[in-house]
Chain A
Amino acid sequence: MRSVALRFEVAALPTPLQSSISPDFVRHFSLFAAKRLAFVPAAVLIVITLSFFIVNLVPSDAAREKAGGLASDADVAAVKHQLGLDQDIWHRYADFMSNLLTHGSLGRSYYSDRPVWQDVWLFLPSTIELIVLSLIIATVVGVGAGTIGAHFKNRFPDFVVRAFVTITQAIPDFFLGLLLIFLIFYKAGWLPAPTGQNGLLEFPEHPITHAVLFDSIVNGQWRLARSAFSHAVLPALTLGIFYSAYFAKTARSVIGTAFDSYQVEFARSLGLPDRQVLGYAFRQARTPIITYGSILFAALIGGAAIVETVFAWGGYGQFAIERILHLDIPEVQGFIMVAGLFTLIIFLVLDLLVIFLDPRVSIG
């Protein structure tokens, strides 16, 4: 009698699981997001402070660099005074922070006198465009190769994957870039010369972000878009192949572990088709792969600099290298800060994404 009553009761319970985004989920998720966001201001302050001290504590003589090789000591002293470099570091830090907090200003370039922010908006989008394209290639090639490696563990295809990883990791990225230019542009002539994001005689109109491929698509300039795409292939391929090696390594190990999991074993033991079994394995491997991709994304803001230079891409990394060589302190400070903030944002999004994908949170 009791068990019948119980059965009725359980079956009659409402099922809050009809939609996968329940109010419970919203509550859990907001709570987590709030906690996570609470750390952001402190982290931002640390990033800003660090970017100031990293640049200003490194011994360098920016005033002499700016004054030029022939300048007299008095000239240099004058420049030093003009740039405020004759003040002690705490004073300069206070100036820097108050400028940033009151005017949102990062100062002006010692050379062009342009506001640092203006250069950020001018160069950063091109770099992000290149990183996105590279990461797509790196993920597809890397995860594909890693899956093959894991599936054929210690058999011939796995050796091929491992050889690919070892060789690619041993070649510096700029050298890989030069190799691709030599083979694909110079020898085969399949793709245009490394003249940046577009041909020398093309002049993008109505720039929005200054990332040419993106802008031309948004503006519907299809001829330019095609040219921009073909100019993007080699640099994206260079970075994509180079970083796919790291992806392949990570993917091979996490997917290998997933293949050995109870979940995949159970799926196999029930005769599920290989495609579905692979899907089960991928789901388990996705968190480390997403994490890895995010770390790379953040690291490539500066990490793409050399390849940008090789291809005259005109992105933020390439710009920063030039500025560093000229000891253009405000611009370098700005670069380090932007790269740091960018990393912060990516990791924030990553954390939220990972928690979002966790079924225990997202489902109830």
Chain B
Amino acid sequence: MANDVTQPLLEVKDLHTRFHTHRGIVQAVNGISFGIREGELVGLVGETGCGKSVTARSVLGLVRPPGRIAEGRITYDGIDLRSLSRREFRKLRGTGISFVPQNPWGALNPILRIERQFRNVIRAHTDASRQECWDMSLAMLQKVGIQGPERILKGYAHQLSGGMAQRVVMAIALVLNPRLVIADEPTTGLDVTIQRQILDMVMQLLEEERRAMLLVTHDLGVVAQYCHRVIVMYAGKIVEEGPVSEVFVEPAHPYTQALLAAIPRPGHKLVSLRGRVPSLIDYPAGCPFHDRCDFAFEPCSAEEPLLCELSTGRRSACHLSKGVSELDAR
């Protein structure tokens, strides 16, 4: 049933999210499907504007007009999220699925003590007493590696450093033990050492407690280090998906190859992608990547390649998928 081992915790099927703007309909997410299993840490990567945040918001039910989920099915723990009432969905957020946003200072309320912000969340879903709220918050802050948590709880957001604020935001998101955490570039903007410290701590915590995470990021290094699986998006679609150990070693899609080549590494020539992302309003025919692709041939501009399974858990959407490694040698 709901806790069937074979069934993913989160399952997204053929999701389409569109924004109705005065310039036209923006196909921000254009028919993506993926799953996340219990305890699985999944990275979601892609260039800016490819639909990562919109995907995250769609799952959380936070797409606001002019945006709309036009089609698709999202199931969490066997529950069809799109059929939930507003109230039921609200009850699920924070307790089942929760969210870590990008900008921790922006996300915290500047006029409420941190303690109160924890309490608001806990009380929104339980009838814990003030003391219980305090204890839960304290324990959670300790878990995310904050020393002197009493003092933090009594303070306000602007008294925190960037790294501290992000830990606090994570602790608030995790305080009711959600089984799935969606983080949208949680450490962007922090300095690299602090980024690593925070991710080390959070990812280890999630791993120990077998919580799942969808980690949206630009940083392929982060995905390689912390995630089990990676999903690569391009122009609102998934172009490649698979275990980190395979995708990063032998990327099947030319776009993934280009992304990986764009990471500066000693002993490698730095390649940057030419051309621009296609318009999400007038979606081009054929493969969305064809005019930037070094390997494009006739079918690419005419027919859109489907996401095919290459091996178990490994998918790619490219007409060349099976022959890419040979062409790569050119």
Residues of chain A having any CB pair with chain B under 8 Å: 3, 6-7, 10-11, 13, 15, 17-18, 153-155, 259-263, 265-274, 276, 280, 283, 359-360, 363-364
Contact = CB atoms under 8 A, between A and B. Distances in A.
Contact of B66 (A18, A154, A276, A283): A154
Interface residues of B, number: 39
Nearest to A273: B124
Contact of A271 (B90, B108, B158): B90
A275 to B, nearest CB: 10
Nearest to A4: B147
Contacts of B151: 10-11, 13, 15
B65 A155 contact: yes
Interface in B152-209: 154-156, 158-159, 169, 172-173
Given A6-B147, A7-B147, A270 B173 contact: yes
Contacts of A265: 62, 99, 101, 107
21 contacts: A11-B147, A11-B150, A15-B150, A15-B155, A18-B154, A153-B65, A259-B64, A261-B106, A262-B102, A262-B106, A263-B108, A265-B99, A268-B93, A269-B173, A270-B93, A271-B94, A271-B95, A274-B90, A280-B109, A283-B111, A359-B156
B107 A263 contact: yes
A260 to B, nearest CB: 7
Contacts of B172: 270
A16 to B, nearest CB: 10
B110 A266 contact: no
Interface string B116-158: 0000110011000000000000000000000110110011101
A358 B237 CA distance: 43
Contacts of B158: 359-360, 363
Nearest to A14: B151
Given A259-B64, A262-B102, A269 B93 contact: yes
B148 to A, nearest CB: 3
Contacts of B102: 262
Contact of A266 (B107, B125, B147): B107
A36 B159 CA distance: 26
Contacts of A268: 62, 93
